Structure 1
C-alpha cells in the first residue's frame, strides 16, 4: 500500500478557519484522484495556534494500490489557491501499521514529522523505526492506532535531501488522552529509545482531526 500525502500551509494573509473551509470545499475534487482507493483530509486543531504558527495547517492523504497511480496523482495534484505553494509538500510514502486499532469519530490525530539521526544511513533508520521503535511506542495504551509513513525509496534518487524521512501518525480518543499517555512509563521508554535513531529533542508535530474519509483502504 502506498500513499500520497500533501501537506499545506496557508498564505500569510489567510485566517486558519478560512483556509480550513477552503480546503474542505476542494475535497470532492481532490478525492477523485485517478486510482485512489481512499481519500482522507485532516485539519489542525485551532487551539493549537495559541503558542504561535504551526508547521502546516491541513493534510490530504490518498491511498493507492500501485506506486504508478500515486505518482500520477502527484503530477496532477489539485491546486489549492489559498495555500502557499512554496510551503506545500507532497510525499510518496510506504505505510507500515505499527498498532492496528479502531478509531472513533472525533478522535484526534497526531502527525509527527520524522527525520533520521544525523549520520545514520537510511536503511538502518527505516529498519530500526519499523522493527524496534514501533513495537515500543505501540505499548502506549492511549494510542488507538499507530501508522508509520516511510518516505518511498524513489524519493531519494535525485540527490536532493528530502524535507522529511517520514511521518509518524498516532490517533487518540482526545487531546486529554494524548496528554495522559505522555505521563506513562511506556511513553518514557519510548522517548528514551528515540536517541537511537532520531535527532535530539522533540520532532515537530501538528495535532489534527479528520474531516473527510472516503472509507477504509
Structure 2
C-alpha cells in the first residue's frame, strides 16, 4: 500500500485515473493496458505481482485481485500474491529475486492498494512505471512493476494503519473485481492480437 499524496504527473498516455462508478471503467482500463502491452518486448513473460495482506481490510486489495486472477488458471501470465500466499513487506524482496531468477526479461505488472485524497477514493489508476509499496506507512521497500495498477481505498495523510483497518470491504472487493476482470480481458486481447500479427509475418 502506498499513499498518493498528490496527483500523479500526467504525461501523454502514462496515467489513467478513473472512478469505479464510471460506466466506461472497464473499456477505459482495458484500452490503457493494451497501450502499455504494445510496448512489451517479444519473448517477455508477463508477471503479475499483487501486493498486500488479508490482515488489513484496506491492504487486502492486492491479494483479492491475485485470488481472482488465479481462478482463471491462465498460461498468459505468472501470478505472485493471493490471499493464501500473499506478497507483503516481509517477503517482497525475496519474491522479486525469485522473479528475476525464473523469468527471462519479465514484464512486471504491480498491483496494490493506495490511500489518497477524499475526492479520489474509489478510483483505479493505471500508471506507467513502478509502484512504491509501503510508502504510505513509511516503509522502505523496493519498487515493483514496469506498469502498475492501484485502487484508492481510503483517505491518506493521517493514522494510515488505523485508516486501512477501517476501510470498507465492499469498496475493496469492488475495486479488486474491476482490476482482475479488466486485466485478464486486456491480456487475452493482447495475446490474440500478438498471435495474429505473428501469423502474418
TM-score under structure 1 length normalisation? 0.25
Whose helix proportion is higher, 1 or 2?
2
Structure number with larger C-alpha Rg? 1
TM-score under structure 2 length normalisation? 0.26
Whose strand proportion is higher, 1 or 2?
1
